[in-house]
A = this chain, B = another copy of it.
Amino acid sequence: MEATIITIGDEILIGQIVDTNSVSIARHLETAGIVVREKIAIGDNARQIVSTLERALHSSHVVILTGGLGPTKDDITKKTLAGFFGGGMRCDERVADHVRRMLESRGIPFNDLNRSQAEVPENCSVLFNTYGTAPGMWFERDGHIIVSLPGVPYEMEHLMQDEVMPRLKARFTLKQIIHRTMITSGLAESMLAETIAGWENALPSYLKLAYLPNPGAVRLRLSAYEVEGESVSQEIEQQFETLRTIIPHYVIGYETASVQELIHNTLLERNLSLATAESCTGGTIASRFTALPGASAYFRCGVVAYSNQAKAEVLGVDPAAIRRFGAVSEEVARQMAEGARRIAGSDYAIATTGIAGPTGGTDEKPVGTVWIAVATPEHTVAVVKQCGSDRGQVIDRASSMAISLLREELLKRE
């Protein structure tokens, strides 16, 4: 069973927004055993919507569209679909009532534009959108399913989860897609590939191996598409077991868990707590942990100590150390980590101080230089890393490397 995802909106094509909807839709489909064949983004253009939909129906049983369902003139998906399926429009009273109530609760008058949101093509089933004003729509043609969802991410997400997936599962007998990912750290991609070449060449043909290099880690993903029963899962487990014996020191985890998710689980299991003291990463490390449900059980406090004054007054860094070594130095990173651990009363603390750029670099400490420290109950470790030249890249890499350093310290105590 194959699917195509079509994202509609000029804002995607001109690079004004990042498309996260298709990521979420793909995950839902894959988890249920539907292979995503292609993802396509097109503009708010009726002819292009029709031709793309026609082509998608040639290669896929299921087509999910998202976007272009707003009440304003620039959104044309609904009318275009009504034309495509050759019917008129009808007013859905349940949707009309819902939109009216929703707007009234926010003190917004119900006008003609809102009323038009309750108009749907005659030949669709309405997917009721509890969280928003634009309903989802479900069409069938020659055994193919076409679904149109609003572009607002959480409205789309709830409709996929509560309406679309249950209907697809009821409608089709789906096989399984299995992805399992091993996370390695410490071997460059080419070295890793050379080291495991014998194992890779002996893999059965229905298992597909992918290398996913990231700062500080290379992930190995084994995938099997449209298989049945438990035997393939077991085969993947056994293959990873064999691989672990080949590179025992480089395997740091499994699944699609990020390093922060692995740490999150470890801290919860061991009942340990965490604090952060960030300069150049500016809150990114704290936000990565606090994005995970349950983080409040271990995340005590984070300090974004951007100014030297904040480093000294909030974290207790010695101003003389800042003067002598500079804010971007091993000594300051260590004192920041220790200060965060002390004021939060936590077991562990991570600190970063570096030059994110684009300005502020020197010959000795160019843009991208970041000192990272981790304070533990036993000691404090610090390393310096070169994290690139672009501000976003430096923040992202320094955050990942700091989180990896914490992971190494947690592993030492296993």
Interface residues of chain A, those whose CB is within 8 Å of chain B, are 10-20, 22-27, 30, 36-44, 48, 52, 70-75, 103, 106, 108-109, 111-114, 131, 152-154, 157, 177, 179, 181, 188-191, 193-194, 200, 208-213, 221, 223, 256, 276, 278, 281-287, 289-291, 293-296, 299-307, 309-310, 313-314, 343-345, 356-360, 388-393, 395
Closest to A38 in B: B42
* Additional 18 contacts, C-beta under 8 A, given A38-B48, A154-B390, A290-B395: A12-B39, A19-B23, A38-B42, A40-B41, A70-B189, A71-B189, A71-B190, A75-B211, A103-B190, A108-B188, A108-B190, A152-B213, A282-B299, A287-B395, A291-B392, A301-B305, A303-B303, A303-B304
On whether the beta carbons of B74 and A210 are closer than 8 Å, the reply is: yes
Neighbour of A193 across the interface among B10, B113, B281, CB < 8 A: B113
Closest to A40 in B: B40
Closest to A29 in B: B15
- Chain B residues with Cβ below 8 Å from A188 are 103, 106, 108
Known contacts A194-B113, A314-B314: A13-B42 contact under CB 8 Å: no
On whether the beta carbons of B344 and A310 are closer than 8 Å, the reply is: yes
Q: How far is the CA of A13 from the CA of B111 in the complex (A)?
A: 40
On whether the beta carbons of B70 and A213 are closer than 8 Å, the reply is: yes
| Nearest Cβ on chain B to A50's Cβ, whole angstroms | 14
Neighbour of A306 across the interface among B16, B291, B295, B313, CB < 8 A: B295
On whether the beta carbons of A200 and B106 are closer than 8 Å, the reply is: no
On whether the beta carbons of B30 and A24 are closer than 8 Å, the reply is: no
Q: How far is the CA of A349 from the CA of B108 in the complex (A)?
A: 31
Closest to A315 in B: B301
- Chain B residues with Cβ below 8 Å from A153 are 393
Q: How far is the CA of A305 from the CA of B200 in the complex (A)?
A: 47
Closest to A116 in B: B190
| Nearest Cβ on chain B to A192's Cβ, whole angstroms | 9
On whether the beta carbons of B11 and A15 are closer than 8 Å, the reply is: no
On whether the beta carbons of B39 and A27 are closer than 8 Å, the reply is: no
- Chain B residues with Cβ below 8 Å from A42 are 37-38
Q: How many copies are assembled?
A: 2
Known contacts A112-B194, A303-B301: A287-B284 contact under CB 8 Å: yes
On whether the beta carbons of A10 and B287 are closer than 8 Å, the reply is: no
Q: How far is the CA of A154 from the CA of B213 in the complex (A)?
A: 13
On whether the beta carbons of B303 and A302 are closer than 8 Å, the reply is: yes
On whether the beta carbons of A310 and B306 are closer than 8 Å, the reply is: no
- Most chain B beta-carbon contacts within 10 A, residue among A44, A71, A157, A306: A306
- Chain B residues with Cβ below 8 Å from A303 are 301-304, 314
- Chain B residues with Cβ below 8 Å from A74 are 208-211
Neighbour of A307 across the interface among B22, B40, B300, CB < 8 A: B300
- Chain B residues with Cβ below 8 Å from A191 are 108-109, 111
Neighbour of A210 across the interface among B11, B111, B131, CB < 8 A: B11
- Chain B residues with Cβ below 8 Å from A22 are 15, 41
| Nearest Cβ on chain B to A358's Cβ, whole angstroms | 5
On whether the beta carbons of A36 and B14 are closer than 8 Å, the reply is: yes
Q: How far is the CA of A104 from the CA of B211 in the complex (A)?
A: 22
On whether the beta carbons of B310 and A301 are closer than 8 Å, the reply is: yes
Closest to A177 in B: B14
- Chain B residues with Cβ below 8 Å from A223 are 10, 14
- Chain B residues with Cβ below 8 Å from A200 are 73
Q: How far is the CA of A248 from the CA of B30 in the complex (A)?
A: 48
Closest 9 CB pairs of A and B: A282-B290, A283-B286, A302-B304, A283-B283, A301-B310, A15-B26, A15-B27, A283-B287, A39-B41
- Most chain B beta-carbon contacts within 10 A, residue among A25, A293, A307, A356: A307
